[in-house]
Amino acid sequence: MRRAIELAARGIGSTHPNPVVGCVITSREGQPVGEGFHAVAGGPHAEVVALRMAGDQARGGTAYVTLEPCNHTGRTGPCADALIEAGIARVLYAVPDPNQQAAGGAEKLRSKNLAVEQGVLQQEAEEVNQVWLHSVRAGRPFVTWKFATTLDGRSAAPDRSSRWITGELARADVHRKRAECDAIAVGTQTVLDDDPELTVRDQLDRPAQRQPLRVVVGDREIPPTARVRNDRAETLLLPTHDPAEVLRQLDDRQIRHLWLEGGPTLAAAFLRARLVDQIVAYVAPAVLGSGFSAIGDLGAESIDHLRRFHLADVTRLGDDVRLTLTPLDRRTF
């Protein structure tokens, strides 16, 4: 199962709007004979890829799957049926499928006299698939707030200039992280100040083949020459200041992971609404002493109003540091 989880992680950023799933098939004698992962929506599911590799050796064997095999016919057939037809005798899966449209695979497998066990390494499997699971369970996209800041918490100078606070390694890392998301959101002030393109690019500034949806939040007019209006990616203009409405409209588009890039007003609105699920902060070894904060007013009046987070990861990127923060109680902030 741990190998299946490793395989599942290979699909992060390319399976939208589907989950990431990994599968390992062992023979009747317990030897690994097939493995696979779901690589792209519309393509074969992990179980099918693993069964194709295993061939006849799958008969009488065991399937280890990170997510309950689906019982749904969409662009591909039900994985539960594929396992039954291949002669698999036993299925162990980590996480029950919360998507009611696809759930029921375990029940179908049991009805055909397969031995089925749920919950093997469930926590580890949930972590690798946290974005999709959260989106389905909560009925809204998983929200990551990203920002870059100086040591004194400034994201822009007094003249609103902000390029570049962090170094090349950190900026390249941002593009890798963007590529894992389905949409990137900024407020109209950020568009007017920075004119960002909001695309995923490589180190030679070449656009990636798959681009997240660009989302501009706010009711101010965006000039027709703004780079977010170019043809390198689709852009959605949302004339609202309500974070819940933003997420509702994105959920209607099956957006699973929203990468919230700013600026401070938009970030504060999502934090006040408790609609941020993860923070990714890039901190540069530099100070400004004046300028604009990375976050707007949250209404704090005393030190008792501090919002504390769990530090999940620290990664050095050249002279910069990337901090990844999660909710202390594993709920939204």
What is Dmax (Cα atoms) for the chain? 69
| Pairing mode of beta strands 90-95, 115-118 | parallel
Quote the Cα angle for 314-131-1, to 5°: 85
Q: How many CB atoms lie within 10 A of CB 246?
A: 28
Check if 68 is active-site: no
Which of 6, 29, 35, 47 is the catalytic position? 47
Which strand (E) or helix (H) includes residue 214? Answer: strand 213-217
Question: What order do you get walking across the sheet with 235-238 strand by strand?
Answer: 235-238, 213-217, 183-187, 257-262, 142-149, 278-283, 320-326, 310-317
DSSP for 4-26, please give it: HHHHHHTTTTTSTTSPP-EEEEE
- Phi/psi for 85 (5° steps) reads -65, -30
User: Using an 8 Å Cβ cutoff, are 178 and 312 in contact?
Assistant: no
Q: What CA–CA distance (Å, rounded) separates 15 from 182?
A: 10
Give the Å distances, CA to CA, from 93 to 120, 134, 217, 293, 325. 6, 18, 40, 46, 29
Which residues does the annotation mark as catalytic?
Answer: 47
